[in-house]
Amino acid sequence: MISNLGNPIRIGEINYTNVWPVFYHFNPEQLKIDVETTLQVPAQLNRAMLEGEIDLGPISSFAYGASYDKYNLFPNLSVSAFGPVKSILLFLKKPLEEVLHGKIALTNTSATSVNLLKIIIEKFYGGKPTYIVMDPSLPEMMEQADAALLIGDHAIRADWSNRAYEVMDLGERWNYFTGEWMTFAVWAVSRVSTEQHPFEIRKIVDAFHDSKQRTLMDREPIVRKACIEIGGTPTYWREYFSGLCHDFGQAQQNGLELYFQYCKELGLIENKVEICIWSDNTVAQVKE
């Protein structure tokens, strides 16, 4: 075991199935370095990363944009989609025309999807609804609102049992209006950790990439895991995981830059966001 100056490197993991392709074969014990892992929903990881309680891991894309000067992004790691994502869903109790100026309940577990919804509703459709933030419970949300935004496994389960509401897939709507990829989460590392642990960070990045490649070669293990732990059919999960992309190349970065641009136009982010990619020599490559 290699000591990290007496302190373990703290790795965050999103408590949703959409990161399984990157984490399923990721085994910290094989790294032979001192690490700790924390499993939380995106909003909790966003806060922990910002407060320095976690060194690296996936966070909401919006959380990166709001504090981009504190992080670097790992190359070729994200949760992205080019079209429907199946787990970022707006459930509508009333027709969209009424929802646009009604009340929408927002999940308290996310940042990227909440602001993506605001872009879609306000910029693309011209709506001006009232928003309330709630725990991710569809029945309770619908008691107080005309529509409800759920993400991750909460959205998947609600969609399976839904018989009453129209459903809008935010990934599909984003792609329809922009023709771009949507990146919901990015793998970030604090710049402080990058400076303190360059060797260890390199090993962790390599392990993430190796895990992702192994999953791409055979998705059946995570399909079986999802059926057991979440429910549903193998066919559903094969389609679900096939619809996700965990790369973070030029196409995904272009879509994310447009997302940040729209966030700035709506006043959701103050400054222009720079996408800073981590490299193995610990020098950030600033994408102008």
DSSP per-residue codes, 163-221: SS-EEEEHHHHHHHHH-S-EEEEEEEEEHHHHHH-HHHHHHHHHHHHHHHHHHHH--HH
pTM of the model: 0.92
**Domain definitions of the chain by residue range:** 9-81+182-266, 88-178
Is the model's pLDDT at 3 over the cut of 90? no
Q: What is the pLDDT of residues 139-167, one digit of tens each?
A: 999 999 999 999 999 999 999 999 999 99
Report the distance separating Cα 259 and Cα 147, nearest Å: 23
Query: What angle is formed at CA 145 by the lines to CA 141 and CA 151, rounded to 5 degrees?
Result: 45
- According to CATH, the superfamily of the domain at 9-81+182-266 is Periplasmic binding protein-like II (3.40.190.10)
Q: Structure tokens of 105?
A: 């309940």
88-178 fold: D-Maltodextrin-Binding Protein; domain 2 (3.40.190)
Q: What is the pLDDT of residues 168-194, one digit of tens each?
A: 999 999 999 999 999 999 999 999 999
Report the distance separating Cα 15 and Cα 52, nearest Å: 19
